[in-house]
Amino acid sequence: MSKSDFLKTIKDEDVEYVDIRFTDPRGKLQHVTVMSHEVDEDFLDEGFMFDGSSIQGWKSIDQSDMKLLPDTDSAYMDPFYAEKTLAVHCTVVEPDTGERYDRDPRGTARNAEDYLKSSGVGDNSFFGPEAEFFLFDDVRYSVEMNKVSYYVDAQDASWNTDTEYEMGNMGHRPGVKGGYFPVNPIDDGQDIRSEMLSTMKRIGMKVDKHHHEVASCQHELGMIFSSLVDQADNLQKYKYIIHNVAHAYGKSATFMPKPVAGDNGTGMHVNMSIWKDGKPLFAGDKYADLSDEALFYIGGILKHAKALNAFTNPSTNSYKRLIPGFEAPVLRAYSARNRSGCVRIPWSESPKGKRVEARFPDPSANPYLCFAALLMAGIDGIKNKIHPGEAMDKDLYDLPPEELAGIPTVCSSLREAMDELEKDHEFLLAGDVFTKSQLEGYMDLKWEEIYAYEHTPHPVEFKLYYGC
What is the CATH number for 11? Answer: 3.10.20.70
Lowest mean pLDDT among 121-130, 206-215, 393-402: 393-402
Classify residue 147 by its DSSP letter: -
Q: What pLDDT score does 1 carry?
A: 86
% of the chain exceeding 90 in pLDDT: 91
Question: Does 313 carry a binding-site annotation?
Answer: no
The predicted-structure confidence for 211-228, as pLDDT tens digits, reads as follows 999 999 999 999 999 999
Residue in 24, 359, 380, 420 annotated catalytic: 359
Flag whether pLDDT at 337 surpasses 80.
Answer: no
| Position 328 confidence tier, pLDDT thresholds 50, 70, 90 | confident
For residues 209 and 201, give the distance between their C-alpha atoms in angstroms, rounded to a whole number: 11
Do 90 and 143 have their domain in common?
A: no
Instruction: With respect to residue 281, please indicate whether it lies within any of the assigned structural domains.
Output: yes
| Position 413 confidence tier, pLDDT thresholds 50, 70, 90 | very high
Q: What pLDDT score does 64 carry?
A: 79
Residue in 130, 156, 230, 380 annotated catalytic: 130
Catalytic residue status for 130 = yes
Catalytic residue status for 51 = yes
Instruction: Evaluate whether 427 touches 302 at the Cβ level (below 8 Å).
Output: no
Which one has a higher pLDDT value, 341 or 70?
70
Strand partners, 225: none
The predicted-structure confidence for 432-467, as pLDDT tens digits, reads as follows 999 999 999 999 999 999 999 999 999 999 999 999
Which secondary structure element, helix H or strand E, spans residue 245, and what is its range?
helix 228-248
Q: What pLDDT score does 404 carry?
A: 79
- Beta carbons within 10 angstroms of residue 83's beta carbon: 10
Question: Does 99 carry a binding-site annotation?
Answer: no
Nearest CA-CA partner of 101 in 70, 61, 58: 58
Instruction: With respect to residue 35, please indicate whether it lies within any of the assigned structural domains.
Output: yes
Instruction: With respect to residue 174, please indicate whether it lies within any of the assigned structural domains.
Output: yes
Nearest CA-CA partner of 316 in 451, 150, 129, 421: 451
Rg, C-alpha atoms of the chain: 23
| Position 325 confidence tier, pLDDT thresholds 50, 70, 90 | low
Average pLDDT, the chain: 95
| Position 322 confidence tier, pLDDT thresholds 50, 70, 90 | very high
Do 60 and 173 have their domain in common?
A: no
Do 129 and 95 have their domain in common?
A: no
For residues 17 and 35, give the distance between their C-alpha atoms in angstroms, rounded to a whole number: 5
Catalytic residue status for 269 = yes
Do 324 and 414 have their domain in common?
A: yes
Q: What pLDDT score does 402 carry?
A: 82
Question: Does 357 carry a binding-site annotation?
Answer: yes
Do 197 and 292 have their domain in common?
A: yes
> How far lies 120's CA from each of 123, 146, 164, 360, 385, in Å?
8, 58, 64, 28, 14
Sign of CA dihedral 370, 375, 378, 379: negative
Do 87 and 147 have their domain in common?
A: no
Question: Does 321 carry a binding-site annotation?
Answer: yes
Read off the pLDDT of each residue in 73-101 and give the average, rounded to a whole number. 96
Q: What pTM was estimated for this model as a whole? A: 0.96
Question: Does 204 carry a binding-site annotation?
Answer: no
For residues 274 and 382, give the distance between their C-alpha atoms in angstroms, rounded to a whole number: 11
| Position 406 confidence tier, pLDDT thresholds 50, 70, 90 | confident
Flag whether pLDDT at 396 surpasses 90.
Answer: no
Domain count, the chain: 2
Catalytic residue status for 339 = yes
β-pairing verdict for 356-358 and 268-276: antiparallel
Domain hosting residue 394, numbered range: 124-465
Instruction: With respect to residue 119, please indicate whether it lies within any of the assigned structural domains.
Output: no
**347, exposed or middle or buried, with CB in 10 Å at 0-12, 13-18, 19+?**
exposed
Instruction: Evaluate whether 336 touches 393 at the Cβ level (below 8 Å).
Output: yes
Catalytic residue status for 21 = no
Phi/psi for 292 (5° steps) reads: -60, -40
